[in-house]
A and B are shown apart, each in its own frame.
Chain A
Amino acid sequence: MNSEILHQTIIVLLQQIAPDTVPATLKLEENIRETLNIDSFDFLQFVILLHEKTGVEIPEEDYGKINTIQNAITYIQNKSL
């Protein structure tokens, strides 16, 4: 999955778990949880959906590695290799 498609996928998933936010305005380096006011429950839903869409399993200790859109794109791409 290339970066642009992955970016759009992440935006759609974030919109799905937090419908009352505007993830499209999220900058690549902004902290997803802090900027969108997402709690641990929502973040877990994000991890579940990301796993379903990409097939990449994200262990708990790696949650910090997908804290921004850019980091999430890099993480998924590296794991998909």
Chain B
Amino acid sequence: MIEFQMPSLGADMEDGTLIEWKKKPGDVVKRGDIIAEVDTQKGLIEIEVFDEGTIAELLIQEGTKVPVGTKMALIQPSTIEAEKPIELHPIMEKISEPIIEEKTDTISIKASPLAKKMAQENHIDLSKIIGTGPDGAITKEDIDASIKQSETAETEKISTPSEAIRMAVAAAMSKSNREIPHYYLEKKIDMTKALAWLQEANKQRTVANRLLPVVLFIKAMAKSLKEVPDLNAVWENGLLQKTEINIGFVVSLRNGGIIVPAIPQSDTKNADEIMTALNDLIPRARALKLRSSELSSSTITLTNLGDAGADTVFGIIYPPQVAIVGLGNITEQPFAENGMLGIRSLANVTLAGDHRATDGLTGSRFLSSLDKNLQNPEAL
């Protein structure tokens, strides 16, 4: 039996509230199907399933706040003969609670096994709860009250979506700053040829099918990551290269905060397909209506803050990724080449790398490759 768990949609996510099951026991599911809608700090997210089979049992009730990693449903794999679903209703069952006493070095806490299990699942410190059971033992009701109290406190603390996003960004960036030793590199890249190619390409297109400069940049980035795969990776007690190149694209929310949906398999898409992906992702990101895979599958991040006018942007890596690329404002500048001075469209491109995973030489090779690829836009 396959256990379907609450997925992590980023380093900043600790839990989510199950709003609605989209499947019921007996339904056949395949990879990519939406199984549930979950409310997170990043909005209402459609959660996808990554296995094939038949829903055997839904273990969590709608409206329940669920920590990341919690078993939410059981799926009978499609290749194995169906067996009787496992009955698992630990929280809902009304049972007589035997009381046991747990002794630690400093304190003695009395609690029912069910209360202990619930406390562990909900990360509740038993020593901070006053039991109302026999001899002051902590019961299921005490844990329920504690969960309700903490949920109420959280609701009061985070009242609007933009505040929730702010907290999510704060958590992810704080974690990154605490754990990742960043190194920073910058390269001035001549975008003149790329922009000229783009202008010609857009002349052949209808207004609705025009491409943005960042599309070419994403294409070039994907190509360079094939040459320098160590930056298309995550750090999980060691460098783990990713086979798919899913470039996370930072979308700024006008009321504050950012959200980073992934452009899946960016390396296999042509320029029009990348523009189509952006047309689909950006409005949904701003409306906080993304799918779980779109929030969790990025293998590297691109921030295009130059679009808002900044000449240079030094990013902070989104864990567990190991790199973030920053594209600054593209401006016309004097540029010397082969002893001649001319005017070119230049952009300051930066790379922030995780020094645990790679060294500056790797980052430098990546930026040089990016420069080379952007000088040959027709080959992208």
Point out residues on A near B: beta carbons under 8 Å: 18, 20-21, 34, 37, 39-41, 44, 47-48, 51, 57-61
Contacts and interface: CB of A to CB of B under 8 A. Distances in A.
A41 B207 contact: no
Interface in B204-224: 207-208, 210, 212-214
B377 to A, nearest CB: 15
A68 B199 CA distance: 23
Nearest to A56: B207
A13 to B, nearest CB: 13
A21 B254 contact: yes
B210 A41 contact: no
Nearest to B278: A41
Interface of B: 199, 202-203, 207-208, 210, 212-214, 252, 254-255, 278, 282, 307-309
A21 B278 CA distance: 21
B212 A40 contact: yes
B208 A40 contact: no
Nearest to B210: A44
A40 B207 contact: no
Given A18-B254, A20-B254, A20-B255, A60 B210 contact: yes
Contacts of A59: 203
A57 B207 CA distance: 7
22 contacts: A20-B254, A21-B254, A34-B309, A37-B308, A39-B252, A40-B212, A40-B213, A40-B214, A41-B278, A41-B282, A44-B210, A44-B212, A47-B207, A47-B210, A48-B208, A51-B207, A57-B207, A58-B207, A59-B203, A60-B202, A60-B210, A61-B199
Contacts of B208: 48, 51
Contact of B199 (A18, A41, A60): A60
A59 B278 CA distance: 21
Contacts of B203: 59
A61 B282 CA distance: 24
A34 B308 CA distance: 8
B198 to A, nearest CB: 8
B257 to A, nearest CB: 12
Given A20-B254, A41-B212, A60-B202, 11 more contacts: A34-B309, A37-B254, A39-B308, A40-B213, A40-B214, A48-B207, A58-B207, A59-B203, A60-B199, A60-B210, A61-B199
Contact of A40 (B199, B255, B307): B307
Contacts of B202: 60
Contacts of B309: 34
Contacts of A41: 212, 278, 282
A61 B210 CA distance: 13
A44 B208 CA distance: 8
Contacts of B255: 20
Which are the 7 A-B pairs with shortest beta-carbon distances?
Answer: A51-B207, A39-B307, A20-B254, A48-B208, A40-B307, A48-B207, A41-B282
A37 B251 CA distance: 13
A40 B279 CA distance: 12
Contacts of B210: 44, 47, 60
A60 B213 CA distance: 12
Contacts of B278: 41
A42 to B, nearest CB: 8
Nearest to B207: A51
A20 B253 CA distance: 10
Specify which of B202, B207, B254, B309 lies most central, judged by the most chain A CB atoms within 10 Å of its CB. Answer: B207
Nearest to B253: A20
